[in-house]
């Protein structure tokens, strides 16, 4: 505890000196984060810490990867992210490790990081950008706002523009696609899915998929096997436990009368491509669209 207090004092002093010095260099850059807060940096952020794997990806996509000095566990894309110093996990931050890295910007995961710990960073005067990207539009906007804070606007704008164009192309291509009822499985035990507000559900809709549990109030609701059987999905999609683990689909083969099983519409998708709100969601959405096209061909 004493060591942490010393680190807190040193960081606070350093921030004060840096702020005074940079204030002479020019006007601050300010953006609005996804929590509606104004976030300002006195000069382009050069020492950034990312507090979720998705946020880490966003920063690299915005051209700010070389400015990252720390990230939480499971930050593994792109490959360079795996070499970053770790500052705990998304749900349990190591404040001492973070402060030792002297960040001039922290990008937090709104709703996913311990609020008390993040608020402590804010009280120390460290700029904190809350990220809560939950659809394609917000992902693109986040890229541009993070690019502004890191002075990597050109790369951020290019990536955001490409994302918007690719989403528009998918929307045009599948605008008249026949609906396919889908159960999207997030976890096996307990059995979990996603409601209609989640970006995966929006990706499904872009491909003509209909989330059978869209009406659930919880973002990630727990359900029973009987509920899935009762709604008889035409397709089941899951990401499994990892990038190449399709074992969860085998359990559904015990119900041969279900339409998804009878038509062999059981599909695996790399969870990293759909369960992180990053530009790679477009790639995951293409995979979803391809699977749903296979469903329509088997009718």
Q: Which helix (H) or strand (E) holds 54?
A: helix 53-61
**Can you name the residues that pair with 237 across neighbouring β-strands?**
184, 267
Q: Which fold has domain 13-165?
A: Rossmann fold (3.40.50)
Angstrom CA distances, 31 to 105, 130, 196, 237, stand at 13, 11, 29, 37
DSSP string, 224-260: -HHHHHHH--SEEEE--SSTT--HHHHHHTT-TTSHH
Q: Classify 31 as helix, strand or coil.
A: strand
* Residue 15, SS3 per DSSP: helix
Model pTM? Answer: 0.86
CATH topology of domain 176-297: Rossmann fold (3.40.50)
Longest dimension (CA), the chain: 72
Query: Residues of CATH 3.40.50.1980 domain(s) within the chain?
Result: 13-165, 176-297
CB 92 within 8 A of CB 81: no
Based on its alpha-carbon atoms, the radius of gyration of the chain, rounded to whole angstroms, reads: 21
86 DSSP β-pair partners: 71
Q: CA-to-CA distance for 114 and 122, rounded, in angstroms?
A: 13
Dihedral angle over CA of 195, 220, 53, 274, nearest 10: -40
Tokens of 45: 């952020």
Burial (CB count within 10 angstroms: exposed 0-12, middle 13-18, buried 19+), residue 94? middle
For residue 213 the two structure tokens come to: 């549990």
How does DSSP assign 106-125, residue by residue?
Answer: EEEETTTS-HHHHHHHHHTT
Residue 36: left if φ>0, alpha if ψ -120 to 50, beta else—which one?
Answer: left
pLDDT in tens, the chain (299 residues): 444 443 444 444 344 434 433 334 457 999 999 999 999 999 999 999 999 999 999 999 999 999 999 999 999 999 999 999 999 999 999 999 999 999 999 999 998 999 999 999 999 999 999 999 889 999 999 999 999 999 999 999 999 999 999 999 999 999 999 999 999 999 999 999 999 999 999 999 999 999 999 999 999 999 999 999 999 999 999 987 666 677 889 999 999 999 999 999 999 999 889 989 999 999 999 999 999 999 999 99
């Amino acid at each position: 505890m004493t060591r942490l207090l010393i680190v807190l004092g040193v960081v606070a002093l350093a921030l004060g000196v840096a702020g005074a010095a940079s204030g002479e260099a020019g006007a601050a850059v300010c953006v609005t984060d996804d929590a509606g807060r104004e976030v300002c940096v006195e000069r382009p952020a050069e020492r950034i810490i990312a507090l979720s794997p998705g946020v880490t990806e966003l920063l690299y996509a915005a051209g700010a990867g070389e400015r990252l000095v720390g990230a939480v566990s499971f930050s593994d894309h792109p490959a360079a992210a795996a070499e970053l110093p770790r500052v705990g996990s998304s749900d349990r931050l190591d404040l001492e490790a973070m402060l030792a890295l002297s960040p001039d910007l922290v990008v937090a995961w709104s709703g996913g990081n311990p609020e008390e710990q993040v608020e402590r960073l804010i009280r120390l005067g460290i700029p904190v950008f809350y990220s809560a990207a939950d659809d394609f539009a917000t992902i693109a906007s986040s890229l541009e706002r993070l690019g502004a804070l890191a002075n990597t606007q050109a790369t951020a704008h290019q990536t955001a523009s490409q994302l918007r164009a690719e989403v528009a192309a998918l929307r045009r291509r599948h605008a008249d696609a026949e609906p396919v009822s889908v159960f999207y499985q997030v976890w096996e035990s307990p059995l979990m899915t996603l409601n209609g507000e989640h970006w995966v559900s929006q990706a499904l809709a872009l491909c003509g998929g209909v989330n059978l549990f869209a009406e659930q109030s919880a973002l990630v609701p727990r359900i029973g096997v009987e509920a899935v059987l009762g709604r008889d999905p035409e397709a089941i999609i899951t990401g499994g436990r990892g990038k190449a683990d399709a074992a969860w689909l085998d359990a559904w083969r015990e119900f041969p009368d279900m339409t998804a099983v009878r038509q062999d519409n059981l599909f695996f998708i790399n969870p990293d491509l759909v369960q992180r709100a990053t530009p790679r969601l477009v790639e995951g959405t293409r995979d979803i669209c391809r699977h749903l096209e296979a469903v329509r061909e088997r009718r």
